[in-house]
Amino acid sequence: MDPDLEIRKSNINGTGVFATKGIKKGEMILDWKDVSDIITKEQFQNLSLEEKKHVSVNNDEYILFKGVARHVNHSCDPNMIGKDKKDFAKKDINKGEEITVDYELENNQVPFTCNCQSKNCKKIISA
């Protein structure tokens, strides 16, 4: 696991990923090749509902997140954004701050009720 990240209890949902140091806007946080596997549509269809929560679809590729990436929680006001199969700080992130991403932008495959508590919370995140 990246030494700049730690997994611990989250107020959003179960466990989350937190910065162990300040991260500057634009800094790469996660490289998907290190934290995911490409699976087929058929493999996706055979996953449990719990496992499907960790899948994103990008250009017809089914990306199954693993390791630390499984603990990144959704926020309707995220501080991280995906681009070119990497996640970058969308704004400066303080040491100790939870790192979040917008699952709708990441093309999640399982709808859920949001608990991010942001003032712009969408309440329901659709697939």
Residue-level pLDDT at 127 = 63
Question: Which residue, among 124, 90, 82, 71, has the nearest Cα to 106 in the 3D structure?
Answer: 82
Q: Are 63 and 57 in contact (CB under 8 A)?
A: yes
Residue-level pLDDT at 77 = 94
- Domain boundaries along the sequence of the chain: 5-125
- CATH 3.40.50.300 assigned to domain 5-125? The reply is no
Residue-level pLDDT at 80 = 96
Residue-level pLDDT at 1 = 58
Residue-level pLDDT at 108 = 72
Consecutive 10-residue averages of pLDDT for the chain (127 residues):
86 94 96 92 93 86 92 94 92 97 78 86 81
- Collect all residues with Cβ–Cβ distance below 8 Å to 9 and sequence separation of at least 6: 15, 16
Residue-level pLDDT at 19 = 97
